[in-house]
Structure 1
């Protein structure tokens, strides 16, 4: 061993071996250190802003709200190269699937889809609330608003203006559609000296006059301005009332309550011989088929032939519309006819209708008509002062005041018969008159049932006594024919 230690080649070999070992140890340590640092050193983080959300739903039935208009933030993490590629290509989306969902509000989670496996995406915010609204549609008449008419060049006069189309379609939520009050398009007349066509954007407003953020289809309309530049030396002016003409009809269930035009008069210009024959102008056309509610709109004045201009050339039209109540007509059978005013000395027999009953048609609001019964309807014929014979008497019907009633049979055929005189009936039977005779008859001296051929003074006295007895009986009991027969028998016996 000592010899080896003294050998310098041996020592050099040992030194070389140790140097190699130290080198290997240092290299392995560096690799281990680097391997612990590189994974973090090569990762990258990027944030995308205003990234759109891909919402799928039934677009035929619903309109969606709650989606952030500015989009959302997406944080990407992963290898630097992969993150850079994902950021540049943006080949991923944030899907929200509401197909098959009914209207309502839903809280949904936001997650990325389509990123590489080594890239992690985080959406901020992670959840949002999305509402599906029932889709509604409405057609709105466009009002043309003209400005700076007084700044048109001298000699230039706006005869009329036409807009095309004059109605636009609005699609939105039911709440948005119901809030729409008017659609307006604005055109500036400053410097306009000839007939020209301009494009105007349509703006929607609510009843308070606030602008609505709802788009129309089309969003712009074409406005043709017919400008006259003819000389006005031979023209004159005349102020006349302005009237309106109605076109079309309202949808079922609606009715017009009022139509007004402001101002009520306009000043028209044109040749004198033409204006002399004009007392008023039908300068406004109101298209009822486009109305579903009360509205106010501005419209250009329609000029008669030969009239060159009108001041103002636009008027405000207000149309009142209200819902009509649903009405119904129904037939009720078996209404008995009552006889009123019939005198005690006559009788009445109904020939038609034979059963004394009629049918009536009642009309009114459905909810009221459905509840009416036959007991609430009265049918009457007035027989007061009707002379004997067969007569046609009008049938009068009545019932609740909030319905109209019409009898199906307007009149009844009645035979009026006068009762026979009771006195005549008794005489016809060969009996003495009923003691219900008038006082004059009661004071007469009763006739002898078997008169003598010649007057006998003694018998006359007996008759007077007998008459006095009969009077006493009449005051003590109700007389009848039978009661009168008894004294007659007594008279015969005494005779």
Structure 2
């Protein structure tokens, strides 16, 4: 036996075997250390798998009738490592839970780890984030009336206005911490009025909660979170007459006969209180100084700023006119009621006749003759010799304007 051990070949063989054993031991030890460093645990074979599952919901274990918890993410990412079959089955079925266990915690702020249940023990599980900061507060519940507010109210269709907005239901129940509940100042829904030209019936609108400074409070549960909104939209209007206004004077020799707009009235749209104050709509002034013939012009309507809409903003105005003329007639002065025993002498005018200037429309003046006009004085039976002044009486067709050479003349009565 001693001779066998003293053989150099035996010693070499034993040394080689020890070297191989030592190398294998060191390799296995290194692999085991690397596995520990990656957090996977023991050495696994090439049949193992790693899979990341996103959007895994997080449950909160606490008396939710008593407390409200903030800071817990709604979802997390879960990484599974282990045998293919187990990873595939778990990721497909997703019949496991991720949660934070807050049972027995009092109100306050804590750092807590996320836990899981329902996952096979032969899988390594990593949750991201691993821990979260949570705040536990006492739960509070209250009811609030809903206010309807409007956006783009200035972009509602012209002529329309909002009468009233209502919600169904008229109240919501809000659940949150006492701190949040105490901050609630208003609960609103917003209705966009852009382009609205008819009533809104049952439009679904989300409910918003605000504090006294107008900041939206998001960490509150609103029931229901969406309500139906009905908005009564009307278009008050009335019909008013159109009044054509003028400025300036027509030229000599021209008379305006009629000024007639193509529309005698127009419908206007405005709030009821504004409509009550408007009795007519005027045009921009028509300048008469430039009118020399029958014509038609376009005039803008002067629309008060309170009017939201008007059927038309301009009218067509027809202008009818006549030209005036004048003619001078030299007419004898007739004597009326002169008694037989007296005679009359004209002193001024000595000829017993005078000029009568007649003014009127060209057509009417052109058809006049001396037979249509008479001048006379009425002595009314005077029987005294004297020289006196007496008014001249003028007889002319109706509607004719005239200018006599004398309003009064001087005559003398003498006994025959």
TM-score range, shorter-chain basis? 0.3 to 0.5
The answer to which structure has the higher strand fraction is: 2
TM-score, scaled relative to structure 1: 0.37
If asked which structure has higher relative contact order (CA below 8 Å, sep 6+), I would say: 2
The answer to which structure has the higher helix fraction is: 1
TM-score, scaled relative to structure 2: 0.44
